[in-house]
Amino acid sequence: MALAVPIAEPVETPAAAETGGTLTIDLAAIEANWRALTRELLTVECAAVVKANAYGMGLEPVTAQLAKTGCKTFFVADIAEARAVRSRAADATIYVLDGFTTDWADAFIDINARPVINSTTELAEWDAFVSAQSWRGGAALHIDTGMRRLGITPDEAVALAPRAQTENHGIALIMSHLACADTPAHPLNETQISLFRELRMLYGGIPASLANSSGIFLGDSTHYDLARPGAALYGVNPTPGKPNPMQSVVELTGRILQIRNVGKDETVGYGATWTAKRPTRLAVIALGYADGLVRAGGASDDRPGGAAIIAGERCPIVGRISMDLTCIDITDVPSGAVHRGDIATLVGGEIGVDEVAAAAGTIGYEILTRLGPRCHLVYRGG
């Protein structure tokens, strides 16, 4: 049966003519990535992690698209995100990863959301709250099997296990989080998988969830009852070192403000970190680290940097990326093929988000969540 999904209002965005760049997000690609995981790898329910504004892709449009596609469970960081998801997915199950606080208490009832309980203190507070409100709201119980951030300890999980056999125990899901799933050979994976398997047996009859994006690709032993992909939905490669099985979701383009000549042995940008080895033509782009490009993504004399696509050619970024501007070496592009006002692609096409991240010494997750806060925003495929 089709879910009733409110139509998203137009997203407020600066006009294209008034900004230096455009961020384009392909909702159809996000849908295709979710469907690919669901149909090709999983035989269990596939949720969607939409925290951090759906990894920068827009919480409400992404939620609406996935709910329309058939996604029934969403994970968010906090209550504000849960409220936004509820506005676009009226019947969905929503888990709040940051857990329960008394400041958020009434909101869990108002929007029918479930906390992910991360400590015995939280559990006691949650129990007191639902008892006082005579509410049967469920919660997830997060067990720390090796990440060592949030979650109850394995010993605490063992001590709490008899609760699962009582009436109205209130545990809707048990879950853990893999620390090294993107490195399949890492020994911590097997340690966590084995420990979670043992603990899950103590909570018979309660659904379980372990696999994140990369965890899904570790095989059936991580799938349990519910998978929780996040980054893979948005085009980040969940299998580093192998071809990316996910479709690209995002494109970032910027206007060329100026084309200028730089002489051999002249430097470019802050700190004079890059020196021209030959007479060089530069295209100066109206995008910088204020638009989500990482400052370290430019080339210096000691290391290569990222790249851009200009006039169909791959061209290197040179010098430090500054707040509003990025310099691109277009010397090898045929003379006359590039003009002031033309468009350069910094993310998208053959330049995937993981490549952009690697050039800056970071990960695709960070790039996605930073992109385009002041750009013209375009959604397609919705």
CA–CA dist 128, 149 (Å, integer):
25
Tell me the pairing of strands 226-227 and 267-268: unpaired
Catalytic residue among 264, 270, 277, 379: 270
Q: Is 270 a catalytic residue?
A: yes
| 99 backbone φψ class: left, alpha, beta (φ>0; ψ -120 to 50) | left
Q: Is 224 a catalytic residue?
A: no
CA–CA dist 233, 250 (Å, integer):
11
Taking each helix axis from N to C end, the angle separating 79-88 and 59-69, rounded to the nearest 10 degrees, works out to: 50
Half-sphere CA count of 70, side-chain side, radius 13 A: 12
CA–CA dist 223, 221 (Å, integer):
6
Classify residue 4 as exposed, middle or buried by CB count within 10 Å of its CB (0-12, 13-18, 19+): exposed
Using CA atoms, how far residue 339 sits from 43, 252, 298, 346, in Å, is 52, 19, 22, 17
User: Which two three-digit tokens encode residue 291?
Assistant: 């638009």
CA–CA dist 305, 311 (Å, integer):
19
Residue among 19, 2, 105 at smallest CA distance from 324: 19
The residue whose two tokens read 């879910």 is: 3
Q: Please say whether the beta carbons of 76 and 96 come within 8 A.
A: yes
Helices (H), the chain: 27-40, 51-55, 59-69, 79-88, 105-111, 120-133, 154-160, 187-200, 213-216, 353-359, 364-370
Using CA atoms, how far residue 73 sits from 85, 90, 146, 322, in Å, is 10, 11, 25, 40
User: Which two three-digit tokens encode residue 239?
Assistant: 């299998």
**Catalytic site positions:** 51, 270
